[in-house]
Chain A
């Protein structure tokens, strides 16, 4: 559905993305992950036809965005990062305009606008001026304008940025609800978002693709040890020495600052070995206060840091490459 080949974009002498290639199959939700300035928005803007690539090709639904721009754009829905919408328009008027410009025939227009508003829970505010809406509602208007022509491909640039937690959950739910029928690329630098909504992750850093895989596989590849988080009230040095003595523990490191003499430690152990029971026993035996003990999976944040800083990046990249073929 989306095909990107060796895409490179320079802004003057500054490289934004280099040699980016990936494909997205019909009905897939793909997360585009990277720190700020990694080239996510640049790639998406090329995919929506509002920015030309320096070299390389991009296709949406089989239409090249440079040579058959109009055809490709007809099949697209795009939510830009800061959904800039005409603030002086009412929600329905605005969506009606977008539907018209996107070529929705007159007799279907009303129904499509109704559907899009219903989908994005905007029916209550259809008469309000877009400019007076809260950020969350405006983001939903942005999503509704992307959906209004019933596009095959949706490109969402940071759909949850700037929203409150409640709204973030709602928008994610909404995106999930679109899965299957549409092909979706969404970019984000919030990692849990990816593991919650996406089938596949493309990690991009400094304009290059670092890894392409499912969130689960990425965790498995990078995580060589199991982590346990413990909070203990007791003298730091002694506690750390005791933890190290527990069988199976490989490393222990304090995390953060002490609060009232309570320290939090990250304990790394062999991957297939659960050290929690032994750990708890050892700590209690010494009479220290064991306040918290829980497994800490490597978060996508940590995986991400691994990938963009570590030498493991190379191996993961190879594994990802092998997985592709």
Chain B
């Protein structure tokens, strides 16, 4: 436990003494803010119109009209930003040669992995928490349904977990940050669009493809529902890739 904490602190410090954390945080909040602005502006227009036409006001609520599209867009931004958080985690240690010393310290591979993973997760969680400003900004003007909104946040957090686990695996396989970034992005994109041919596929294939897609499981969260099967999908996904990363780290001990 103490070792995980030591690695966690070191890794988080690394994020903030290098420009990585600032760059990712800045870009993420700028783009997220931009989406929020467009979406609320659109919602405002729709609200104005519905004053003339009360029938259109049916179903006009911030969960459906603001947060669902916002979360969808944030998921796309994450697709691009998450690999930047994980690319350096293990690749950089190998590139700089600091891995050599790290592997001689009395820490288990699992502790090393969890320390790094949790540091990336903490940074991401902080990044996501910054966007909580948006619902807070709206509270004086409209009634926010906090339950469904927080469910949407939970969905993004779980999606982020999956992205990070995938990214850290790829970072463990190369010593080039750029390759780690590109491959992690490509892999995440493939897992995202894997369900696109589902409509043309047969019944069984359609179920499988839809279930595989990393983004298909977001739908229920964005609507404000927490579905056990979706939660389990993301947790399974994360554990699976963390397990593979652990194996990849351990293989160095006997393969050289």
Contact = CB atoms under 8 A, between A and B. Distances in A.
A93 B7 CA distance: 13
Interface stretch (A84-92, A189-197, A230-238, A300-308): A84-92
Given A50-B104, A73-B106, A100 B6 contact: yes
Contacts of A86: 10, 14, 96, 98
Interface string B1-27: 011011101100110011000000000
Contact of B100 (A11, A71, A80, A98): A80
Contact of B97 (A49, A69, A82): A82
Contacts of A51: 256
A142 to B, nearest CB: 8
A296 interface: no
Given A52-B254, A82-B97, A88 B2 contact: no
B contact patch SS: helix
A76 interface: yes
B14 A80 contact: no
A320 B2 CA distance: 47
Interface string A1-22: 0000000010100000000000
A291 interface: no
Interface in B82-127: 96-98, 100-101, 103-108
B229 interface: no
A145 interface: yes
A284 interface: no
Given A52-B255, A103-B2, A98 B105 contact: yes
Interface string A63-74: 000000111011
Nearest to B17: A88
Nearest to B254: A52
A102 B103 CA distance: 11
B14 A101 contact: no
Interface of A: 9, 11, 45, 48-52, 69-71, 73-74, 76, 78, 80, 82-89, 93, 97-98, 100-103, 145
